[in-house]
């Protein structure tokens, strides 16, 4: 493997590690903020996350840590608004559905992404990849899905949330490659639109779901501390989301998201003494097997494609392993990526998710 390949692999591992650590950290922080302190305004909190992220990137731009690269403003605006809407729909989905049905909604994002990429981008996912994803989804389902309560409005909202989330994550990957912009450049330009969208709908949506006013909440020093901490961690979460999707693929980002879910469940049991059962343990073990199979099959298929093509004509892999040995993907504009969702990450008042 050449120097370029080693740098790419290290960059991918670094992006995945940053995503896992920052996401697990913000879940723990938000659990303390929402469960212990009663701050249940998830959509408004996410808008503050994005505003702090934009301000941080603006300072980084002023310090010349990255280069501003404007491109099609309509694409940026549409992408930012779509991300904001997907977050709102996910919150509404949880508000109208049980936690179990909401978890099913999250699980449906992977097969939906596979279907959309197959139909519109003509990507091919081998049976081995499909099998590994099925094992993963089954394991996460066993570990997290409990009660399933269906209703018409909640089902429609969940369907819309799945579709918008999938499209937003696919756009994150395709925009970076099409316009040759880095994850930092795309995040910097889209953040204002995402934040503004959530600023406008956040207070109304949170009020509808919680019957409370975010502006009338009692902001004690402890609440303010955890809000500030959550916003600071979110800078890393949002950046790593775009970075992971750009360096790998939307499907791989969703696989990573379920890994983070398993880690959060494990840490909750070990550190916070959350209730844990044999079903949780069995589900996590099955999910880990699915993730390992996914990474293995992706690596094998990537090596086979590299062997069939010259370095100058290297083909891009249809799916990316969690730790890639591939030299066929090239970073666009210095670095690039659901879930998410991931998707710019959104934290629910009823269920903190990775």
The model carries a pTM of 0.71
Instruction: Give 224's contacts (C-beta < 8 A, 6+ positions apart).
Output: none
Assess whether pLDDT exceeds 60 at residue 6: no
Over 50: is that where the pLDDT of 348 sits? no
Question: Which residue in the block uniquely carries the two structure tokens 């212990």?
Answer: 36
- Please give the pLDDT value at position 147: 63
Q: What is the pLDDT of residue 9?
A: 61
CA-to-CA separations, 4 to 127, 150, 178, in angstroms, rounded:
31, 50, 21
pLDDT at 332 over 50: no
What average pLDDT does the segment 297-324 reach?
Answer: 61
| 103, 21, 172, 48 alpha-carbon torsion, rounded to 10° | 80
Rounded CA gap, 151 and 289, in Å?
33
Please, what is the average pLDDT of the chain? 77
Q: Answer with the residue of higher pLDDT: 36 or 316.
A: 36
> Nearest-CA neighbor of 82 among 186, 194, 226?
194
| Phi–psi pair at 82, nearest 5 degrees | -60, -40
- Choose among 181, 168, 189: nearest CA to 336: 181
Residue range 205-232, pLDDT digits in tens: 999 888 999 999 999 999 999 999 999 9
Q: What is the spatial distance between Cα 175 and Cα 256, in angstroms, rounded to a whole number?
A: 21
pLDDT tens digit string along 106-124? 888 888 988 888 888 888 8
- In the prediction, which pLDDT does 319 show? 47
Report CA dihedral (54, 56, 60, 66) to the nearest 10 degrees.
-40
- The pLDDT of residue 337: 31
Q: What is the mean pLDDT of residues 57-75?
A: 89
Q: Band of the pLDDT at 333, cuts 50, 70, 90?
A: very low
Q: For residues 329 and 94, give the distance between their C-alpha atoms in angstroms, rounded to a whole number.
A: 36
What one-character DSSP code corresponds to residue 313?
G
> Mean per-residue pLDDT for 126-152?
80
DSSP label of 179: T
**pLDDT value, residue 55:** 93
Grade residue 327 by pLDDT with cuts at 50, 70 and 90.
Answer: very low
Give the per-residue pLDDT at 108.
85
**In the structure, what pLDDT confidence band is assigned to residue 78 with cuts at 50, 70 and 90?**
very high
Which of 90-99, 223-232, 252-261 has the lowest average pLDDT? 252-261
pLDDT at position 239, please? 83
More confident residue, 81 or 258: 81
């Amino acid at each position: 493997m050449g120097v370029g390949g080693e740098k790419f692999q290290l960059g991918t591992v670094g992006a995945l590690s940053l995503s896992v650590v920052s996401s697990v950290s913000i879940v723990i922080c938000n659990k303390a903020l929402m469960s212990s302190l009663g701050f249940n305004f998830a959509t408004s909190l996410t808008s503050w996350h994005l505003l702090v992220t934009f301000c941080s990137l603006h300072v980084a731009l002023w310090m010349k840590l990255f280069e501003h690269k404007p491109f099609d403003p309509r694409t940026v605006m549409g992408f930012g608004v779509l991300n904001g809407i997907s977050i709102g729909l996910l919150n509404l989905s949880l508000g109208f559905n049980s936690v179990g049905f909401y978890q099913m909604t999250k699980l449906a994002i992977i097969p939906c992404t596979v279907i959309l990429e197959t139909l519109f981008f003509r990507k091919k996912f081998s049976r081995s990849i499909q099998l590994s994803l099925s094992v993963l989804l089954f394991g996460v389902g066993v570990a997290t899905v409990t009660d399933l309560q269906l209703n018409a409005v909640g089902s429609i909202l969940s369907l819309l949330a799945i579709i918008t989330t999938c499209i937003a994550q696919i756009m994150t990957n395709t925009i970076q490659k099409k316009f040759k912009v880095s994850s930092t450049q795309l995040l910097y330009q889209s953040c204002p639109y995402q934040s503004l969208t959530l600023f406008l709908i956040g207070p109304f949506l949170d009020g509808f779901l919680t019957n409370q006013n975010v502006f009338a909440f009692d902001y004690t020093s402890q609440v303010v501390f955890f809000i500030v901490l959550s916003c600071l961690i979110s800078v890393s979460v949002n950046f790593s989301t775009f970075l992971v999707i750009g360096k790998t693929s939307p499907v791989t980002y969703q696989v990573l998201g379920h890994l983070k879910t398993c880690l959060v469940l494990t840490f909750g049991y070990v550190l916070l003494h959350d209730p844990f059962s044999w079903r949780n343990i069995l589900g996590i073990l099955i999910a880990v097997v699915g993730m390992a199979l996914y990474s293995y099959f992706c690596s094998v298929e990537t090596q086979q494609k590299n062997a069939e093509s010259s370095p100058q004509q290297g083909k891009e892999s249809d799916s990316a392993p969690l730790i890639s040995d591939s030299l066929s993907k090239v970073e666009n504009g210095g670095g690039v990526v659901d879930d998410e969702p991931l998707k710019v990450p959104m934290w629910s008042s009823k269920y903190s998710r990775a």
